[in-house]
Structure 1
């Protein structure tokens, strides 16, 4: 199914999209790099499963992604701009009591938001391990190569699948490169800010962002849910929505 986007203007005037499904307590879900709300949360039924549990699922398209704008000016990409955008959406919707989660880049952004002072009641980190937070720059260099090799990579190269996904999703390479420069590492000591109950949900074959059990061990009140799949395939599994719904309604 497809849900028509709604729009708001971020603090720098960039037009950003969001989608919503269901009624009830709000939960904000942030998608992964080069993906979108529709692909990450709607297409495979994850949002619908959470909505059936009594939630309003609010799903922004991060800037440069989906139906949101992808400006080329470097002034639109200060450090942690995605956290600013999340805060602007929370303010736009007048949310005061809500839950927050994300997958991969969405999980990283959710952590950065909590470190910056956003206070969801519960937190969900999908496809994320400790190294994916503390060592983002290493992961970021891979995606810089994805952009650099966009027209030259051959099938079998380590960047090939990510490039094909970028092409399918029609990602603007210039804007994506600027966005990558806005990301910052989160050292383990900064995780002390995460005091709320947290679900770490990760595919059993997913080591792309490091060890999920290590991330659980580093958090004050976290539990691990292991679901089928790799980093790319776990978002297509029904177990993702089941795990999130079970955590939220426990």
Structure 2
């Protein structure tokens, strides 16, 4: 396993962890998470490496060990998609696979719509409504950031606060990033033509219906695993589903 960084399209330094040798597979983590938390801690990356993949796992801007600027100009609309394209260019990837969880899934979907061309794509913890309803989703997290010190147990934002605290999130940088994520136009889903797995917990409706998203894509394949939005990503079945999909 090697940890390094690369310079994105605007010069921001973004952290990236690489494990294994073999077919490149880019893994993009979810909101307030990191490569370590999303992919490494629960063994998903190790399973993929054992299956013969080289996993390339960036920390998103304002997350993990990546740049956490407090300047609004460093968060243009679509910045995460631009960062993903910069990662693919940095590693000179041509024949590769791509997967993302939650915010990472929306970033991967938008990246493909904007021109990235992985062989296979996995959109995990993501449903049809989640791709186009970012304004309401981001408003919830912005509120959690703004009320951070006053949120108590029993508040619907308590879990988000707890996870931000656990991950040591820079709330000012995260707030700026939340405003830079753009929606996916439903008409643009036609541009996602490669085999696409929709891997989602059986109790996860945080980003809408993964089954409906599978039906909306040209080659969408729904894969149900146990858990909620938070627990499914920690379940071994998540890594197993990724291996099964990308090995075929």
What TM-score do you get using the length of structure 1 for normalisation? 0.97
CA distance in 1, matches of 2:3, 2:63: 13
Indicate if the aligned counterparts of 1:97 and 1:121 stay in contact, CA closer than 8 A.
yes
What corresponds to 1:223 in structure 2?
Answer: 221
Q: 2:175: which partner in 1?
A: 177
Runs of 4+ in 1 over 3 A off after TM superposition: none
Which of 194, 197, 213 is equivalent to 2:195?
Answer: 197
One of 134, 159, 162 as aligned partner of 2:160: 162
Counterparts of 1:216 and 1:12, CA distance in 2:
34
SS in 2 for 1:185: coil
The aligned counterpart of 1:95 is 93
CA contact (8 A) 2:100 2:123 kept: yes
Q: How far off is 1:164 after superposition?
A: 0.9
Structure 2 counterparts to residues 126-137 of structure 1, below 5 A: 126-137=124-135
Distance 2:246 2:11 in 1: 34
Asked whether the equivalents of residues 2 and 19 of structure 2 are also in contact (C-alpha less than 8 Å), the reply is no
Q: Are the equivalent residues in 1 in contact too, given 2:214–2:222 (CA < 8 A)?
A: yes
Give the number of equivalent residue pairs: 248
Unaligned runs of at least 5 residues, structure 2? none
- Deviation, structure 1 residue 88: 0.9
Match of 2:247 in 1: 249
* 1:19 matched residue in structure 2: 17
- In structure 2, the residue matched to 1:188 is 186
Q: Cα distance, 1:69 vs. partner?
A: 1.2
Give the corresponding residue for 2:27.
29
Are residues 1:53 and 2:51 paired?
A: yes
Is 1:149–1:159's contact at 8 Å kept on the other side of the alignment?
Answer: no
1:237 pairs with 2:232: no
Question: Does residue 149 of structure 2 align to residue 151 of structure 1?
Answer: yes
Question: Alpha carbon RMSD of aligned pairs, Å?
Answer: 0.8
- C-alpha offsets along residues 86-133 of structure 1, whole Å, 9 cap, x if unaligned? 111111111111111100000000001011111111100000000100
2:106 counterpart of 1:108: yes
Q: How far, CA to CA, are the matches of 1:140 and 1:70 in structure 2? A: 18
Q: Match of 1:124?
A: 122
Match of 2:62 in 1: 64
| Aligned partner of residue 67 in structure 1, secondary structure | coil
Deviations 1:47-83 (A, max 9, x none): 1111111100100000111111100111110111011
Listed one character per residue, the Cα deviations across residues 168-219 of structure 1 (whole Å, up to 9, x for unaligned) are 1111111111101111111211101100000000000000000010000100
In the other structure, the counterpart of 1:210 is 208
Where do 5+ consecutive residues of structure 1 fail to align? none
**Distance in 1 (alpha carbons) for counterparts of 2:224 and 2:153:** 30
| Alpha-carbon distance in 2 for matches of 1:10, 1:72 | 17
Q: CA deviation at 1:143?
A: 0.8
How many Å separate the matches in 1 of 2:217 and 2:134?
A: 18
Q: Show the counterpart of 1:75.
A: 73
Q: Could you tell me how far 1:4 is from its partner in structure 2?
A: 5.0
